Amino acid sequence: MEIISLNNKYSKAIAELHKDCLPNDFLTLLGEDFLIKYYNCIFDQNNSLILGRFSENNLVGVIAFCSTEWSIFQFAKSNVLFFFKKCLIAAKNLKFTVYIIEVLVLFLINKPHANFELQYIFVDRNYRQKNIGADLINYGIAEINRRQHKSFDIIVKTLKSTKENIYFYQKNGFNIVKIFCGRVWLKYNT
């Protein structure tokens, strides 16, 4: 099993694993084609980094970092019609409408003070509890460090603020910086 830096050839495989690992995530509710475009857009950003862990040629873990300058708003701006069409379809789902309000209120008006954002981390259900999540974080931080040549910080704004998720980030060097309406933000400082 190895961790490699991914490119847009892997967007479909990433989207499939995202859907499977985070079935209730609001991006998942927008559909697989949305996820593919979303990851393509992250790959196009300067300073983005998406790593994948493979087992026998299957993608079993992903971590995605991008600059905090980037947000889903940039994605929406460059894909206006596609974005609104998908939102209109998904808005029939109450869960999605609640998520959109959460994202707008909790996340976008609260600008994080950090250089990078850990956008997503997910590991195939059959491969969890084997340190793959920890390896992806460590490898990602080492790679950003190698590229940056100066100190930096990484924020993670948890959508699923479960005890296990918070514990997972804390175990991997992140500290809580904000608890806002029940959502937890953590930061990793170098």
Ligand X SMILES: CC(C)(COP(=O)(O)OP(=O)(O)OC[C@H]1O[C@@H](n2cnc3c(N)ncnc32)[C@H](O)[C@@H]1OP(=O)(O)O)[C@@H](O)C(=O)NCCC(=O)NCCS
Positions that interact with ligand X (CB under 6 A): 21-22, 121-123, 128-134, 158-160, 164-165, 167-168
Instruction: Specify the length of the chain in residues.
Output: 190
Phi, psi dihedrals of residue 31, rounded to the nearest 5°: 105, 160
Q: Which runs of consecutive H residues, i.e. helices, occur in 70-187?
A: 72-78, 80-90, 94-102, 132-148, 163-171
Q: Would you say 65 and 49 are in contact if contact means Cβ atoms under 8 Å apart?
A: yes
Shortest gap between Cβ of 53 and ligand X (angstroms)?
Answer: 9
CB neighbour list of residue 77: distance below 8 Å, 6 or more residues apart: none
Q: Which is nearer to ligand X, 79 or 183 (CB)?
A: 183
Q: Which is nearer to ligand X, 85 or 160 (CB)?
A: 160
Alpha carbon distance, N-terminus to C-terminus of the chain? 27
Q: Which is nearer to ligand X, 27 or 132 (CB)?
A: 132
Shortest gap between Cβ of 105 and ligand X (angstroms)?
Answer: 18
Angstrom distance (rounded) from CA 133 to CA 99: 25
Q: Which is nearer to ligand X, 81 or 164 (CB)?
A: 164
Shortest gap between Cβ of 108 and ligand X (angstroms)?
Answer: 17
Q: Which residue is nearest to ligand X (CB)?
A: 133
Shortest gap between Cβ of 47 and ligand X (angstroms)?
Answer: 21
Shortest gap between Cβ of 129 and ligand X (angstroms)?
Answer: 5
Angstrom distance (rounded) from CA 33 to CA 148: 32
* 52 phi-psi bin (left φ>0, alpha ψ -120 to 50, beta other): beta
Shortest gap between Cβ of 140 and ligand X (angstroms)?
Answer: 12
Number of C-beta neighbours around residue 134 at 10 A: 13
Q: Which is nearer to ligand X, 12 or 128 (CB)?
A: 128
Q: Which is nearer to ligand X, 78 or 180 (CB)?
A: 180
